[in-house]
Amino acid sequence: ATLQLQESDKSLYKEVTVQETEQNQADYAVIDVREPDELESSGEMPHAANLPLGYVLGPNGRKDAYIQNLPKHRPVLVVCRAGIRARLAAEQIAGWGFGNVDVLKGGYIAW
């Protein structure tokens, strides 16, 4: 199945480049939505919480302790391998009331 996003969904988050994230790096709460085996094979993002996409989109994602303790005003950077899954997760996270959600354009590959 192909993951599809509606054009209107993009208003919930914005895509940022690696250079843009470097300017705000200390402020971001980074959420990596790759699967644990992907982290083992390709590496981890520094200071990132690993919450796989299926978990974020599932019934327990919103209840996760990391999400519950994250201030809603804090900027969130969502990362996956290439950027597709991060967009879906960003839409979900923004729907939980986080007002500043960014997606790393090109994902971990770009980083």
What would the mean pLDDT of 93-105 be, rounded to a whole number? 95
Whether 2 has a pLDDT exceeding 80, the answer reads no
What would the mean pLDDT of 94-107 be, rounded to a whole number? 94
31-64 CB burial, b ≥16 within 10 A, e <16: bbbbbeebbeeeeebeebbbbbbeebeeeebeeb
Cβ contact 30:86 at 8 Å: no
pLDDT score for 46: 84
What would the mean pLDDT of 73-78 be, rounded to a whole number? 94
Question: Tens digit of pLDDT for each residue in 7-57?
Answer: 545 578 999 999 998 887 668 999 999 999 999 999 898 889 999 999 999
The reported pTM is 0.87
9-27 CB burial, b ≥16 within 10 A, e <16: eeebbeebeeeebeeeeee
pLDDT score for 25: 64
Question: Tens digit of pLDDT for each residue in 57-71?
Answer: 999 999 999 999 999
- Residue 74 has which token pair? 């804090």
CA 66/CA 87 separation, integer angstroms: 19
